[in-house]
Every structure is written in structure tokens, then in C-alpha cells.
Amino acid sequence: MRRPGDRPAAQRRCTYSRPVEDGLIRLAGVVKRFETAAGSFAALNGVDLDVGRGEFVAVIGKSGSGKTTLVNMITGIDRPTAGEVWIAGTPVHRLSEGKTARWRGRTVGVVFQFFQLLPTLSLLDNIVLPMEFCGLWTAAERRTRALHLLEQVGLADHAGKLPAAVSGGQQQRAAIARALATDPPLLAADEPTGNLDSTGAETVFELFERLVADGKTILMVTHDKDLAARATRTVVVADGKVIDEYVRRALARLDLDQLTLAFSRLRRETYPPGAVIVRQGDEAAAFYIVTGGELEVLIDGPGGAPLVVNRLGSGEYFGEIALLRGGRRTATVRVSTGGPAEVMALDPSTFRRLVSESAAARSEFERVVGARLGG
């Protein structure tokens, strides 16, 4: 008899993937528009996102920012108006509705906030059902695997119970076991702890951590910032766009509302090799975050010759000294000769507003200023 982990020929009916080397999830220029009585509304507006295998990604953002729509694109529950969605090498945006359902059954385990277990089936039969849909294994092997999954989530003693006979936290753990039934490489969870108390939420999160340690990739939408901080990576969605991770890193001390405001005010600027972005002695015109390339920081050396005192890469920033201290630029910043560079520029009034509203951000900027000035 084949072991429940073996993959028989019948499995091929649910497989559309081809090998890829650049990650598990890739979204390129994804747009999703909905038509409403008030006109067209863009829930997603040009989203680019890459997620590697084995990552635990928390997706956060304000209500209405586009988080759930993003997950629906990745799971194939909905399809983009424009752009491409590639999951494990499959162009999901090109699949027919029927092929999408079969692909999802084998590639993505979906966990919902309200469990969505079939109420008339036992926990065991809820887990067996996806395997039947994908034609995986024999009937006996499916039950063996379902029992093993229930054991993994601590519910083996409740296998024969209906969902209504167990607690909400236990139902969510059963829903996770169901999502794992076909051994998909990706789990997508939309607010999986949103309907649970703190104990249940912690149990579910610890289960996710174990699954990631075993090689699964998890994408979890959450409003819980404490849980999000424990994921290996956080993706912030604002106004239908994914905030650049280098921007998020540079502005890590801002809260979600402040970060969203900053993102809406940033402008992208690109410079060729050797170009000067700011010059020593000039008035402060912006705060800059490096999002691509390498920059050189120079001061006037002996005899006026420029002296390179620092180099800045992606995720680092400059321009905060003059804005915080009310003076002029203390150094020149130019693009290294090795290639072009990209920065995101924030206007002085927005920078000062954010610093005045966030004690944590101001403290961090002052710490960096002190280190740069040697004080």
C-alpha cells in the first residue's frame, strides 16, 4: 500500500505547476477594479510582490486597504483586471475557472476567519473532502492522512465530532488541517485569528510557526500587529498598493496610519551614475530613502577636495539632519559610479509632521543624527 505522503498518478489532475527558481509567489503590475454605483474603484493598483518558499509573511493594512483582495488574487478566488499572478510557476491569471479550482485544490490551502467547515460532516470527513476532490490516494489512505493531520493540530480525539461540537479555536485548527490535506506548498490565511480569543490565537500562530519550520510558505492577513511582528516578514498594503519594503524599514517606528500617510506623499526619483542628489550647504528640500543602487556621502576635505565618509544602500536614508536641526545640508550625496540609483523623497512639511506626531520616530532619527555627527 502507498503511504499517505506518496503521490499517485491521479494527483496529476490537480497539478499545473512548472519549476521556478525565483520564488513561490510573484505578482507583477496587478490591478483589480470593481464597478460600483459611484463608478470604478481600484482595490489594487499596480501591485508587485515576490514571496520566496518557506517564508512566513504577515499582510497588514487599514480596513479597505486591499489586503483581502490581494489574498484573493494569490489564491485564485478572484482574478486581476490587469497584471500577472504566478504561483509556483503557474500563471493563475490565465487559468479557466474550472482549472483554477483544481489548481487551488492542490497548490493552495486557504484558511478563513470563520472556518467554513461543512457543518454536517465530521472533522475527519471535512479533511478527507479536499483529497477526494483532487483524486489523491485511496479512501483508506485519505482517512489515515486526515487522522494524522488532526493529530498534528491536537484534535485526534475529536475526529468524529461535528464542527458545532467543538470550540472556535478547535474549529480553526481543524480548518488548518483541512487546508493541509493535499500537502500544498502555500497556506493563505485571511484573518485566521480574528474570531478567536487570545489563547486560541496564540495556539493557531504557534501551529503556523511549526508549519513554516517544516517548509510551508504562509501568507497571513491580520489586524494583530503583535502577531504580525512575529512573522519572518511583513507586507504593508495601503490604498491598493504594497508599500516598498525599504520604505517600511526606514520608517519602522511609525504606526500604520502614519506610514500610510508617508507612503501617499513619497515621490520616486531616479538618478544616473555619478549624479549629485543633494549638495553640502544647500537648504533642506526633502528627506530621502534609498530604494535602489548605492550612494556616496561626501564632505569637503582638506583643500576643498571631496572626501567619501559613508556609503548608503537600499533601506537607508539621508537628509534628516538638516530637517531636524534647521540648518543646511551637512554633506553632499551622490550616486556611485557603478550604476544608477533610485530614492523616495518626502517633502519637509510631511516629514516634520510625522516626527512631531511620533515620539518613537523622532527618538530613532535623533539617535541616527547623533551617530552621524559623532555625538
Rg of the chain taking only CA atoms, in angstroms? 25
Q: What is the pLDDT of residue 13?
A: 35
Q: Which fold has domain 9-242?
A: Rossmann fold (3.40.50)
Q: Which residue, 116, 221, 106, is CA-closest to 172?
A: 116
- The Cα–Cα gap between 93 and 84 comes to 6
What pLDDT, in 10s, does the model give residues 105-137? 889 999 888 888 999 999 999 999 999 988 889
What end-to-end distance do the CA atoms of the chain give, in Å?
72
Percent of the chain with pLDDT over 70: 94
Q: What dihedral do alpha carbons 237, 101, 216, 43 form, nearest 10°?
A: 0
Could you give the residue range(s) of every CATH 2.60.120.10 domain in the chain? 246-373
Give the separation between CA 117 and CA 166, rounded to whole angstroms: 12
Q: Which CATH class is domain 246-373?
A: mainly beta
Q: How far is CA 320 from the centre of its chain?
A: 28
Domain boundaries for CATH 3.40.50.300 within the chain: 9-242
Long-range contacts made by residues 320-323, C-beta under 8 angstroms, separation at least 24?
320/287, 320/351, 320/365, 320/368, 320/369, 321/369, 321/372, 321/373, 322/283, 322/284, 323/284, 323/287, 323/348, 323/351, 323/352
39's enclosing H/E stretch is strand 39-51
pLDDT tens digits, one per residue of 298-319: 998 777 788 999 999 999 999 9
pLDDT tens for each residue of 34-74: 988 888 889 999 999 999 999 999 999 888 889 999 999 99
| Residue 224: band (very low, low, confident or very high) from pLDDT cuts 50, 70, 90 | confident
pTM: 0.80
Residue 20 confidence class, pLDDT cut points 50, 70, 90: very low
